[in-house]
Amino acid sequence: MTLNPAPNSFRTGPDERGRFGIFGGRFVAETLMPLILDLEKAYADAKADPSFKADMESYGTHYIGRPSPLYYAERLTEHLRAQAPAGQGAKIFFKREELNHTGSHKVNNVLGQILLARRMGKPRIIAETGAGQHGVATATLCARFGLKCVVYMGAVDVERQAPNVFRMKMLGAEVIPVQSGTRTLKDAMNEALRDWVTNVSDTFYCIGTVAGPHPYPAMVRDFQSVIGIETKQQMLEMEGRLPDSLIACIGGGSNAMGLFHPFLDDREVEIYGVEAAGHGVQSGLHAASLTGGRPGVLHGNRTFLLMNEDGQIADAHSISAGLDYPGIGPEHAWLHEMGRVTYLSATDTETLEAFKLCSMLEGIIPALEPAHALAKVAELAPTKPAEHLMVLNLSGRGDKDIPQVAQIFGQTL
């Protein structure tokens, strides 16, 4: 790939066609285009309207529980310092998105999109979901605002994630198992896009990550940026300066973009994204689109994808259903090309180790997704000086993963 010249700012994208360099855009059927343009205009209007911002803040505070704390992970810091050379071992902080209502960062974005759907007068909400976290967050806000909710979920995931399917139904949502393709997340997203073109007048499509056609990647990023904005403020209050590094796991990349974006032009801040390496990137069984994929077009945007030799989308594998997506948000593809963010990957095995470490040392059972980032914290922190301030985005709690992890550790519940 050719490297683009370093821009004056990393925060100006996307351009008017929704591109981040050669990535992003809106590669959609002609029939979908009017809907996308409508949405783009409605979002621009909302963004300029102080009452929209006031609603975001009010529900963010009273319904989601924001701001989430920035927490000094003292025992993990000391544990890793004990393994580091003298005078080394970063001071580690968790941005505690796992404390949000519904248990992850997903709800920040859903709140924004549901408030937007209300402004647009759309009574029917559709969503895709993989592990079910985005589906649960969407069903939750639809219940809160009395909107009809339809969630598309791959038939394989419906079986793997039975508790979340039950949750969505309890909240009044209709869950439609998708039988096409590999019957997982990418097929659910295809099906949701199909629904949208057939129900143009009354339906709003609530996408769960920084993917899809423009304006979704930028809009979802904006709604998640509350994570980074709060982190900046909280770190200034706690330590009197900016952090030295940020680290977050990447499925589609929304929790990571939310943390990273407000810091992109603070060039002294190192930024790390962590993809799921599954059984190892060499094994072919992984979900590391940047580390092990190549550029192509899927779900309306150009980005890095997992593909076979014929250009067909390949299956993603990860221990964590929430990272099991064969693509990555286009802004990440661009930040990777620009060299502003360093992308690493963590295997299933490394992730389980980190999952245990965080539970035992901090009394916080993390979701398997951020446990990938924790695995890289364990590697990076000992290489940094003791005054280095490192922030990990703890994107979700591990309750949903307990049955799966118990099974892996050979325990019956």
DSSP string, 32-89: GHHHHHHHHHHHHHHHT-HHHHHHHHHHIIIII-PSPPEEE-HHHHHHHHTTSPTTB-
Within residues 305-324, the interface with ligand PLP by CB under 6 A covers: 322-323
Cα 257 from Cα 166, distance rounded (Å): 30
- CB pairs under 8 A, 24+ apart, for 172-180? 172/139, 172/142, 172/143, 173/135, 173/138, 173/139, 173/142, 173/149, 174/149, 174/150, 175/135, 175/151, 176/150, 176/151, 176/152, 177/153, 178/152, 178/153, 178/154, 179/155
Q: Does 104 bind ligand PLP (CB under 6 A)?
A: yes
Residue 252 contacts ligand PLP per CB under 6 A: yes
CB 248 within 8 A of CB 317: no
- Contact region with ligand PLP (CB under 6 A), list: 113-121, 149-157, 168-176, 251-259: 251-259
303 binds ligand PLP (CB under 6 A): no
One of 262, 369, 374, 376 touching ligand PLP (CB under 6 A): 369
Give the nearest distance from C-beta 37 to ligand PLP in angstroms. 25
The token pair that represents 269 in the structure block: 């801040």
Q: Does 184 bind ligand PLP (CB under 6 A)?
A: no
Q: Which of 106, 232, 376, 400 is catalytic?
A: 106
Residue 254 interacting with ligand PLP (CB under 6 A): yes
Q: Which is nearer to ligand PLP, 260 or 388 (CB)?
A: 260
Q: Tell me the H-state helices in 320-366.
A: 330-338, 348-362
Find the shortest distance in angstroms from Cβ 273 to ligand PLP: 9
Whole-angstrom Cα distance, residue 357 to residue 110?
Answer: 31
Q: Residues 68, 102, 108, 133: which binds ligand PLP (CB under 6 A)? A: 133
Task: Determine the size of the site formed for ligand PLP (CB under 6 A).
Answer: 19
Compute the radius of gyration of the chain from its Cα atoms: 20
Residues 6+ apart with CB under 8 A from 37: none
Nearer to ligand PLP (CB atom), residue 246 or residue 249: 249
Question: Exactly one of 79, 106, 122, 336 binds ligand PLP (CB under 6 A); which one?
Answer: 106
Coil, helix or strand for 270?
Answer: strand
Instruction: Clarify whether 395 is annotated catalytic.
Output: yes
Of the residues 77, 225, 255, 351, which one makes contact with ligand PLP according to CB under 6 A: 255
Known catalytic membership, residue 106: yes
* 60 is a site residue for ligand PLP (CB under 6 A): no
Binding to ligand PLP by residue 250, rule CB under 6 A?
A: yes
Please report how close the Cβ of residue 253 comes to ligand PLP at its closest, in angstroms. 5
Residues that bind ligand PLP (CB under 6 A): 104, 106, 133, 209, 249-256, 322-323, 367, 369-370, 395-396
| Active site members | 106, 128, 395
